Amino acid sequence: MFNDPCLEPLFPRRHVEELQTSLGNKTLYNSVSACNRCGICAAVCPTYQLYHQENFSPRGRNQILRLCLEGKIKLNKENRVLREALISCTLCGRCNEACAAQVPTAEHVLEMRRALGLRVLPRLLQSFLQLRDHKPRLFSTLTRTALILRRLWVVKIAWLFQITHLPGLTWINHLDDVLPARIIPLAKVLAKANVQANQENPELIYLPSLEAEFILPNIALATLRLAQKKYRTETWQNTATGLFSYVYGDLRQSRKMLRKLLARHAKTGNGKRPLLTDSVDVYLFLKRAPQLFSGRKLWQERAQNLAQNLLFVTDIFPTDSDDKIPSTPGSVQLERSALFERQGPAFEKAEKILTTLFGKNFVKCFYTDADTPAFGYTFVAPKNATRMSLKTVEKIARLQTQQVVTLSGLAALELAYVLKKFYPAAQATHFVHVNR
């Protein structure tokens, strides 16, 4: 009916051609035109709550995209206001939940970032993390080396000599603050616990997230223990899903990584073997993977197949009444920090399990409540992230929560750091540690 304009007509493969929304697949223009500017989204947007300005609201971001598509605004990397509006978005998806027409603002923001070629992470960090996609072995070696250097006080020394105060390097201080003091390699942790990463005749594939593999091996250990109660498991270590490139890099690279994963999955157990992840971000990304392959039947079918066989840790969590933890003195809450979505089966299941486990001590929170910005936002917009995290701490303190359960290792890391600083009475743990 309409000639749908697109952001880069000459480079359509740089963008998602059809967005997968809860109201069906839509082109970018149709998707953004569904916003009728009612403003309900602003009330739940963490950046609008900080600035109270239209540039920082989901409605504003959607209008930017629409005006760009209609040729009324020129997408220009040098435009400070435009850049701020796009960089500041946490991609949390609260707006999507609140919206009557389920407009996927986070996806729209990513599309604009891609069109602008915006690299929102500090350059060095971006290049380093991109290595995981391009050269996974080198990435693995470099990560281990960096962690050894950190143990040798190299970061502290660099801080003393003000090297990490230099522009473009300040993120190293924050990373050093957030990371646990001592990080043991996953292989050692598994060996010590006598847990096999790969069992014979596997029935399930475990895809550890980056943080579970390199920073928080206990998450991988706990996940494997849980999984192996029910399934013989194999672990696909150092396997990128394309999520990082999807959010921070080039969509073509993301597709490439995803194709590798899909091909490997298709070859394993006739493509029917369930795939388990410990990160809600990875889970939500893989669920929407089919939208990356519109018009490519084979890959789309494979992506759909993977999405159907995808499991999150909540799916393998034992829910027998025997597991009920005796009532703890403090309350427990679920942190919904995630990319793209705040509601859905993963969250509902987690909430159900926690209710079973903790009974009245489980305090129900909503998607509108403050939580830690997800998936590296603290490196994208540190000032916003700090203010948002403080709001989270305020909420946790008000509810007098003792344990905050997160659905991704990154959120647990960030939250643990903020809590330690401002409200040490509470602790942040990943969902897989709840049963311990």
Partner 1 sequence: MHIPASTLRALKRAVGQQNVCTDDVSVLLHAYDCSLSRMRPDVVIHLTKAEQVARVVKILHRHHIPFVARAGATNHAGSCSTPKGGAVLNLAALTNILQINTQAGYALVEPGVVTAQLGRELKPLGFFYAPDPASQKACTLGGNLAQNASGARCLKYGGTLDHVLEITLVLPDGKTQTLARQETGPDWVGLLCGSEGTLGIVTQLKVKILPTPKHVRTFLSAFPTLEDCVQTVTDLTARGIIPRCMEAMDQLTTQTVEQMAPAGFPTNAGAALLLELDGEKRSLEKEEKIVQEVCRQNHALKIQAAQNNQAALWWHSRQNAYNAMARLAPNVLVCDGTVPRSELPGTLRKVRQILAQHNMTASLLFHAGDGNFHPQLIFDERNSIETQRAGKVAKLILQACIDAGGTVSGEHGIGVEKRSMLACQYNQDTLDLFSHIKHAFDPEDLANPCKIIPVDYAEKTAGTAKNEPGKLQNFQQQFKQQLASEKPFFITGTNAVLQTQETFLSVKELNEIVDIDLTNYTVTAQAGVTLKQLARTLKKHGVYSVLPEEKGTLGGAFSSGCYPAFYAHTTGLQALLPNGSCVRYGGKLTKNAAGYNLLRLFAGAQGAWGVVTELTFKIYAVKPAPLTANPFVPLRQNELYKRMKKELDPKNLLKIPEETAHVQ
The DSSP secondary structure of 70-121, one letter per residue, reads TTSS---TT-HHHHHHHHS-----HHHHH-TT---HHHHHHHHHHHHT---S
DSSP summary character for residue 322: G
CA distance 406 to 431: 6
Query: Contacts with partner 1 in 14-43 (CB under 8 A)?
Result: 23, 30, 33-40, 42-43
Report the nearest approach of partner 1 to the CB of residue 422 (Å).
23
Single-letter code of the amino acid located at 378:
T
Pick from 27, 47, 63, 408 the residue near partner 1 by CB under 8 A. 63
For partner 1, which is the closer residue by CB, 2 or 161? 2
Using CA of residue 299, residue 304, residue 309, residue 314, what is the dihedral sign?
positive
CA dihedral 215, 216, 217, 222 (to 10 degrees): -160
CA distance 251 to 367: 28
The rounded Cα 231 to chain-centroid distance in angstroms is 26
Report the nearest approach of partner 1 to the CB of residue 82 (Å).
5
Number of H helices and E strands in the chain, helices first, is 22, 10
For partner 1, which is the closer residue by CB, 283 or 367? 367
Per-residue contact flags (x/-) with partner 1 for residues 399 to 428, judged by CB under 8 A: ------------------------------
For partner 1, which is the closer residue by CB, 72 or 135? 72
Report the nearest approach of partner 1 to the CB of residue 288 (Å).
19
Pick from 25, 55, 199, 238 the residue near partner 1 by CB under 8 A. 55
Stretch that binds partner 1, among 74-82, 139-147, 302-310, 380-388 (CB under 8 A): 74-82
Pairing mode, if any, of strands 401-406 and 427-430?
Answer: parallel
Per-residue contact flags (x/-) with partner 1 for residues 76 to 115, judged by CB under 8 A: ---xxxx--x------------x-xxx-------------
Stretch that binds partner 1, among 59-67, 302-310, 381-389, 403-411 (CB under 8 A): 59-67
For partner 1, which is the closer residue by CB, 277 or 384? 384
Single-letter code of the amino acid located at 259:
R
Report the nearest approach of partner 1 to the CB of residue 67 (Å).
6
Told to check if 161 binds partner 1 by CB under 8 A, we report no
Cβ burial of 306 (10 Å; 0-12, 13-18, 19+) is: buried
Pick from 28, 64, 282, 419 the residue near partner 1 by CB under 8 A. 64
Using CA of residue 253, residue 256, residue 260, residue 263, what is the dihedral sign?
positive
For partner 1, which is the closer residue by CB, 60 or 249? 60
Q: Which residue has the tokens 């190299």?
A: 154
Report the nearest approach of partner 1 to the CB of residue 55 (Å).
6
CA distance 316 to 432: 10
For partner 1, which is the closer residue by CB, 17 or 54? 54
Backbone angles phi, psi at 332, to 5 degrees: -125, 140
The residue among 254, 347, 259 whose CA lies nearest residue 301 is 259
Residues that bind partner 1 (CB under 8 A): 1-2, 23, 30, 33-40, 42-43, 51-55, 60, 63-64, 67, 72-73, 79-82, 85, 98, 100-102
